């Protein structure tokens, strides 16, 4: 496995974990701590904006690194140079004819659902 693929996968997993954390942290840690009175509620807006930024950045990184992972995997499976992977339709073959491609399509569909969830839960918080 080449270094670019290893780094791409690591970035992808880190982004996905960070995205999950931006949804789980407020529910599991922040809200219970604030309800218990251990943390002043004055930081609610700041925390929400921070989590919003984290969610959007994590989602963008997850989508971009996932796409790069697909391209690098197609290059590795075919043994062809990168330009040939695009010109000969190798990416489409990998998506249609391999287990990796099927799993990638499922993960991409889930990422699109997460995009909707992030847009719904954090619609315009970055602008403020």
For 69-79, the pLDDT digits (tens) are 999 999 999 99
- 9 pLDDT band (50/70/90 cuts)? very high
CA atoms within 13 A on the CB side of 5: 10
Q: How many domains does the chain have?
A: 1
- Show the DSSP H helices in the chain as ranges: 3-25, 31-35, 44-78, 82-87, 90-97, 99-121
User: Is 42 inside a domain boundary?
Assistant: yes
Range of the domain at 41: 3-123
Per-chain mean pLDDT for the chain: 86
In the numeric block, the tokens 């919003």 are attached to: 52
- 127 pLDDT band (50/70/90 cuts)? very low
User: Is 108 inside a domain boundary?
Assistant: yes
User: Is 128 inside a domain boundary?
Assistant: no
């Amino acid at each position: 496995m080449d270094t670019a693929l290893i780094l791409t996968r690591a970035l992808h997993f880190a982004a996905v974990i960070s995205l999950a954390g931006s949804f789980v942290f407020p529910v599991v840690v922040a809200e219970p701590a604030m309800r218990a009175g251990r943390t002043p509620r004055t930081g609610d807006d700041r925390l929400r904006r921070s989590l919003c930024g984290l969610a959007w950045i994590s989602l963008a990184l997850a989508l971009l690194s996932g796409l790069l992972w697909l391209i690098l995997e197609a290059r590795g499976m075919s043994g062809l140079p990168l330009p040939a992977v695009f010109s000969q339709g190798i990416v489409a073959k990998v998506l249609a004819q391999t287990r990796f491609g099927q799993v990638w399509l499922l993960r991409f569909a889930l990422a699109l659902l997460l995009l909707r969830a992030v847009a719904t839960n954090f619609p315009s918080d970055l602008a403020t």
